[in-house]
Amino acid sequence: MNQILHSFAVSRYEHMKDDLCQLFEDYPHKDFQLHTQRIEKSQMVAYLYQQLETLQARGRLFSLSLQGRLKGLLCLVPKPWLSRQLGLNIWYVQHLVLAPEIEPWLVSRLLREAVASIKDEVDFVFARPASSDILSVQGLESIGFRNVGCELVGNVRCQPLTKPLTHELQSIQKTQLDDICSIARMCHEHNHYIYDPRLSSEDAAALFEALVRYQATSEHVEVLVATQEQEAVGFLSFRQNKSLSQFFGRPFACLDFIGVHPRAQGQGVGHALNLAALHQLHEQGVKYASVRTMSSNYLALAALHKLGYRITSSNFVLHWWPGISDVHHTRHDV
């Protein structure tokens, strides 16, 4: 069998476009998610192909060919904002798409050679393969990636309010920024960084706070704040996906981060924030908002199910630290 692994350039491999599109077309692990979002598979394939040139400019593309046919694609991209926050060079496995007939040892070889090419440039790599994509998960684990959790991905219908909210809500004011960042520090336990033994609890809290601060100051993100006696007790950030919306000609959006001060939990603050955000997105023409949360975040899941949350896919979250084969350390050993 003729196996070829090489760097992949979209512009240089235009003759392989049909193979590449077929590779995406045959990938089954997000089909239900596409169905619930009413996206035709062929449309998503066209969108992903369009995105590859942008990803190529930002990161690295690698491919696996068997007997002259494209059978595997791996895309690695740097994450500069995350890198600055943690003081590490962080990369992300943006795409790992494999034909089902590939032998597992070839997947390992593709991954091993790809990460070896960036080993001197990275401190940490993370991936989110679909939990049903056993070939990718096992391939990543075979070269040293370790599972730190499972994410659930789903949709919530955007609907207008049917009755007045019982909490005071408003768009974020500059004077409230420090308050919601303080709340964020208290609500960081359910992001995947907290489960990595090489990152401290303080690292995870600081990162979540930084993410919230970044979103709260971005013109592309909307943030609602709940107040009690003029003090911020909760927040929710949400946004439209501009890239998807422009390509498909209709708005797509997601609910991102939510936090409620411990003293205000159990009073319906989070539910009110969710309802208000879904109302605003409905007014913007969005039919469904996507939501991603860790499977261990039971409070968030309970709140989402009140809204009719429908799980459409799940991902394992895997971390890789170059040169580290034994991940069984305490945080104090880092």
Is 240 among the domain residues?
yes
Residue 175 DSSP label: G
Question: Domain total for the chain?
Answer: 2
In this prediction, residue 65 has a pLDDT band, given cuts at 50, 70 and 90, of: confident
Question: At 36, phi and psi to the nearest 5?
Answer: -70, -25
Percent of the chain topping pLDDT 90: 66
Task: Spell out the alpha helix ranges (H) of the chain.
Answer: 17-25, 31-36, 41-58, 80-86, 104-118, 134-142, 177-186, 201-216, 242-248, 269-283, 298-306
In this prediction, residue 292 has a pLDDT band, given cuts at 50, 70 and 90, of: very high
Using the predicted structure, report yes or no on whether residue 24 has a pLDDT greater than 60: yes
Q: Are 123 and 265 members of one domain?
A: no
Residue 16 DSSP label: G
From residue 261, alpha-carbon distances to 150, 173, 237 in Å are: 25, 18, 15
Task: Give residue-wise pLDDT tens across range 68-99.
Answer: 888 999 999 999 999 998 899 999 999 999 99
CATH of residue 181's domain is: 3.40.630.30
Check residue 7 and give its pLDDT: 62
Domain housing 297: 155-314
Residues 6+ apart with CB under 8 A from 194: 188, 201, 204
Q: Are 209 and 122 members of one domain?
A: no
Is 319 among the domain residues?
no
Task: Find the mean pLDDT for residues 37-43.
Answer: 93
Check residue 166 and give its pLDDT: 83
Q: Are 193 and 135 members of one domain?
A: no
Give the three-class secondary structure for 191.
coil
Check residue 9 and give its pLDDT: 54
Task: Give residue-wise pLDDT tens across range 189-231.
Answer: 778 898 999 988 888 889 999 999 999 999 999 999 999 988 9
Strands across the sheet with 69-78, in order?
3-7, 60-66, 69-78, 90-98, 124-127, 310-320, 146-157, 288-294, 253-260, 231-240, 222-228, 168-171
Check residue 1 and give its pLDDT: 37
Check residue 3 and give its pLDDT: 52
CA–CA distance, 291 with 113 (Å, rounded to integer): 34
Q: What is the reported pTM? A: 0.88
Q: Are 233 and 306 members of one domain?
A: yes
